[in-house]
Structure 1
Amino acid sequence: MQTATTEDAKTYADEMMKRFKLVDMREQYSDIIAEAEANSIGYMDFLIRLLSVEEEGKNARRQEMLLEKANFDSISSLKDIDYSFNHALDREKIEELGKLHFLTAHENIIIIGPPGVGKSMIATGIGMNACNAGKRVLFVNAKELVDKLYEKMTAGYLAETLEKLRKIDLLIIDELSYIKMDRERESLFFQIIRQRYEKSSLIITTNLPMGRWDELFTGQLAATAILDRLLHHCHVLSITGDSYRVKGSKLSVKNGKDI
């Protein structure tokens, strides 16, 4: 009789946890019960243990989903940065930005420097921290972004696309360099900047100093209007030095190896 009652209780517990999507609790509750019995754990501690297992599992799955949806070109954390190679990197500043206070304050980051100095790696590392903190992130190439917006506009889906972008906590626009926008694409880019102004955060990486941003847009007036909003609440990282990729190439040649 006791065995049947126990089995009925287990069946009921399994069904309820499945219904309420308590995935980790359902997988581990038998082991946690055995642990509680072996160590004479009280009811409240037992309950806390069950809840913490479910919380950890849900957080891990959410982080995995957010990282996948972020569309990073590569998986690079801030810990992967080789500060010894390039002393122009402001380690203290980068690590402070990695704490994500700028996200809470709805501030932006602009990372400026020549190709290969780690701009995208820094942006990705900060973005990964944001994903791990439960924030929605999107990493997108600048040209691909404006072309996609133009495509959606011509198809009549611009409003829906802008609404999806509005829900992104951190939008990372990579390689805003050496592209020349026409007036329509410039207007679409400006809509993104205006939409996020003082509401959510942007990270932009670029090879071009801000004094040359008129080369990206239709003229100085448009560049000034965009920079005015970007820079109002902004952290600027200006990086100089050699390229990591050139460094790797030189080492490969020196060692007689292919890249």
Structure 2
Amino acid sequence: MDSKNSFISDIKTYAEIMKLGVIKSDIELAIEDANTSNLSYEEFLYGLLQKECDIRNYNLTQSRIRTANFPYKKYLEDISIEDLPADAQLKLKHLSSLKFIKDGQNVIFSGNCGTGKTHIAIALGIKACLEGYKVLFTNVPLFITQLKELKSAKNLRCYQNKLSKYDLVILDEFGYISSDKEGAELLFTHISLRAGQKSTIITTNLSFDRWGEIFGDPVMTAAMTDRLTHKSYVVNMNGNSYRMKETKAWLNSLEN
């Protein structure tokens, strides 16, 4: 093996040890391009490290999106703003800045079915992942079931610590299924732990005066409402069904 090939082999070995996958796979092509373009040592090294950094950041972002457990991907750019309820149109620009996450504020999307509550919540969650925030998406019935199982297995404290590390937790479908006393208490406890510190987004089809249907306890309902709404953004999502409009447009496209 000549000296040049020996150096390249050693570079690949060092890159593998240091987990620099781009440098390991692209070093020969990068050297060839540098020679062709007559790059300086500084330009060559800068370009190589920049590509390594870009790929690593991309992979980390995709990992955050994947582990957030979104049911599907929805981006803010995909949302037809003019079809949203008026209050959502008014507040979405500010919410999309994600300042509410930085400030540890909650967001509650409340309104009838099909108006875009879950779509907006997912879109905000994905943007948060793209900007480096750690996000968790789950629906409330599944979340309560998980908390009950963890409590039975005596692993609840460990999960509480894990939950506190998420910058944003999205709880979807609050109010679609009522909960028993144990489930309501567990939900109350875990939402309360984040209040005033980390952000939570809740989507619900119930107005606040009907939250008692979920908890079955007026004292707990009042406490939950107070903690969730304190310094939070409440978005009125009552309006025409966004989902129904999409369905009608799809059906019309089939006819044409």
Residue 190 of structure 1 deviates from its aligned partner by 1.6
1:169 paired residue number: 167
Given the alignment, which residue of 158, 176, 182 partners 2:180?
Answer: 182
1:69 paired residue number: 67
Q: Is the 2:109–2:236 contact (alpha carbons within 8 Å) kept by the matching residues of 1?
A: yes
1:147 paired residue number: 145
Report the Cα distance in structure 2 between the residues aligned to 1:12 and 1:239, rounded to whole angstroms: 60
Please identify, of 156-165 and 17-26, the stretch whose mean Cα deviation from structure 2 is larger. 156-165
1:27 paired residue number: 25
After superposition, residues 1-259 of structure 1 pair within 5 angstroms as 4-86=2-84, 88=86, 90-91=88-89, 93-251=91-249
Q: Is the 1:78–1:95 contact (alpha carbons within 8 Å) kept by the matching residues of 2?
A: no
Report the Cα distance in structure 2 between the residues aligned to 1:256 and 1:6, rounded to whole angstroms: 62
* TM-score (ref. length: structure 1): 0.90
SS at match of 1:67: helix
Residue 83 of structure 1 deviates from its aligned partner by 2.2
Report the Cα distance in structure 2 between the residues aligned to 1:145 and 1:188, rounded to whole angstroms: 10
* TM-score (ref. length: structure 2): 0.91
Q: Is the 1:115–1:243 contact (alpha carbons within 8 Å) kept by the matching residues of 2?
A: yes
Give aligned pairs, total.
255
SS at match of 2:142: helix
Deviation per CA, 1:216-239, whole angstroms, max 9, x where unpaired? 112221112112221223111112
Please identify, of 105-114 and 241-250, the stretch whose mean Cα deviation from structure 2 is larger. 241-250
Report the Cα distance in structure 1 between the residues aligned to 2:46 and 2:250, rounded to whole angstroms: 54
Report the Cα distance in structure 1 between the residues aligned to 2:72 and 2:118, rounded to whole angstroms: 9
* Amino acid in structure 2 at the alignment position of 1:144: L
Report the Cα distance in structure 2 between the residues aligned to 1:44 and 1:33, rounded to whole angstroms: 13
Report the Cα distance in structure 1 between the residues aligned to 2:20 and 2:176, rounded to whole angstroms: 50
* Amino acid in structure 1 at the alignment position of 2:128: A
CA distance 1:40–1:204, shift in 2 (3 Å): same
Identity %: 32
Q: Is the 1:83–1:89 contact (alpha carbons within 8 Å) kept by the matching residues of 2?
A: no
Residue 183 of structure 1 deviates from its aligned partner by 2.4
Report the Cα distance in structure 1 between the residues aligned to 2:19 and 2:252, rounded to whole angstroms: 56
Report the Cα distance in structure 1 between the residues aligned to 2:36 and 2:94, rounded to whole angstroms: 45
User: What is the CA RMSD across the aligned residues, in angstroms?
Assistant: 2.0
Q: Is the 2:85–2:236 contact (alpha carbons within 8 Å) kept by the matching residues of 1?
A: no
